[in-house]
Amino acid sequence: MTHFIRYLGLFGDHIVPAVLHRYTQVLRRPDLVNSKGQPLVTTARLGAVWKRLSARFKTVVADTSMITLSTDYSIHFHDLFIDGKENAKMTGDRMKMLMLTLPFMVRDLIAPEVFQYWHVLVCSSYILC
C-alpha cells in the first residue's frame, strides 16, 4: 500500500516545484528584459525572493501558529527546493509541516503585503507611545 507516501511524494516532488516555477514564470517572463537584453529580474533578485520565502518559515512559532519551524527547517527547505541539493531529503512529517504552512508563506511573496500601510502605522505607534 503506497498511496499515502505517493501523495506526499506528489506534493514534494511536483506540487511545490510547480509553485516555485509559477513565481519564476511571472518574474522571468521572456519579454521582460532591459536594454542590454538581460532579464529585468536578475538572478540575485530572484534569489532574494526565495530567501524571503525561506526566512518566512522561521516566523512560524507555536504561540501563534500551534507549530514551530526552526531555522534548520528553513535552511532545509532552501537546500531541497531552491538549491536542489541531491542529498537533501524531507521526511514525511516535515513534508506535512510544509503542507500546513506553505499557503501562508507564499501569500504576497512578490507583492506588497496586505494592510502593509496599516501595519507600518501600528508598528510605528508602538515606538511613539
Partner 1 sequence: MYWYILVCTVLTFVCTGVYQVESINKAIKNAKKGSRLHGLPPVSDPSDEVVEVLIQCMDWNIATRQSGIAESELPELQQKAVDLLDILQKNLPEKTGEKGKWNFEKAHSILHKVREIVLWGNSDNTSCQAPEV
Q: How many other C-beta atoms can be found within 10 angstroms of the C-beta atom of residue 66?
A: 9
> Does residue 124 interact with partner 1 by CB under 8 A?
yes
Q: How many other C-beta atoms can be found within 10 angstroms of the C-beta atom of residue 54?
A: 20
Look at the block and give the residue holding cell 506534493: 11
Find the shortest distance in angstroms from Cβ 90 to partner 1: 13
Find the shortest distance in angstroms from Cβ 59 to partner 1: 16
Q: Nearest CA to 94 among 8, 2, 21, 27? A: 8
Q: Which residues between 17 and 46 bind partner 1 (CB under 8 A)?
A: 17-19, 21-23, 25-27, 29, 31-35, 37, 40-41, 45
Q: What angle do CA 32, 36, 38 make, to 5 degrees?
A: 45
Read off the DSSP letter of residue 39: B
Q: Which residues between 60 and 99 bind partner 1 (CB under 8 A)?
A: 92, 96, 99
Stretch that binds partner 1, among 2-10, 54-62, 64-72, 77-85 (CB under 8 A): 2-10
Residues forming a β-bridge with 39: 33
Look at the block and give the residue holding cell 522561521: 58
Find the shortest distance in angstroms from Cβ 64 to partner 1: 18
Q: How many residues lie near partner 1 (CB under 8 A)? A: 52
For 87, the enclosing helix (H) or strand (E) is none
In the complex, the residues that contact partner 1 under the rule CB under 8 A are 1-7, 9-11, 13-15, 17-19, 21-23, 25-27, 29, 31-35, 37, 40-41, 45, 49, 92, 96, 99-100, 102-103, 106-112, 116-117, 120-121, 124, 128
